[in-house]
Amino acid sequence: MNVRLTDSHAKDVGTGHGAGADDARRSWLARTLLPEGTEPDPRFTLANERTFLAWTRTSLAFLAGGIALEAFPLPEVSATAQSVIAVLVIAVGLLISLGAALRWLKVERAMRTGEPLPVPAIVPLLSLAAVCACGLTIWSLLS
């Protein structure tokens, strides 16, 4: 699904941040990460930030789950298998965190330049990780 944002709000926020006084008010980080385009409607930017925070919460849950797997021994699972599963869960949490940051940046740039929104790459990663984690857990319980 391609979504195009219009510049109908441009009259309210000015001509964008191409040059002049508006550009001087932007932080160095904003000028570096988002160098071109016009300022999007704040509702879209805030929705993008809420999505980023939701993915960050998911990442933190994976990190906490991996730490808990390593901290509390499970008698049904070998110590090696438990450590491998814990490391994989923590790695997935880190990848989700990185993916969330990259997605936020790509969506923000797309909104500023009027490009179609990018396809989320985090969802297939999360699905694959869940399948692998379930498979490893079942394998360790059966062996």
Higher pLDDT, 14 or 62: 62
The pLDDT score that the predictor gives to residue 96 is 92
Q: Which helix (H) or strand (E) holds 46?
A: helix 42-71
Q: What ranges do the domains of the chain cover?
A: 40-142
Task: Give the percent of the chain with pLDDT over 70.
Answer: 83
| pLDDT surpasses 50 at 76 | yes
Indicate left, alpha or beta for 20 from its phi (over 0: left) and psi (-120 to 50: alpha): left
Q: Which whole-number Å values give the CA distances from 60 to 96, 104, 138, in the listed order?
A: 9, 17, 24
* Per-residue pLDDT reduced to its tens digit, 47-67: 999 999 999 999 999 999 999
For residue 125, count CB atoms less than 10 angstroms from its CB and return exposed for 0-12, middle for 13-18, buried for 19 or more: middle
- Cα(46)–Cα(133) distance, rounded to whole angstroms? 33
pLDDT in tens, 78-106: 889 889 889 988 998 999 999 999 999 99
Place of tokens 């930030």: 49
Tell me the pTM. Answer: 0.71
**CB burial of residue 120 (10 Å; 0-12, 13-18, 19+):** middle
Helix (H) or strand (E) holding 138: helix 122-142
Question: Mind listing the pLDDT tens digit for each residue in 121-132?
Answer: 888 878 888 888
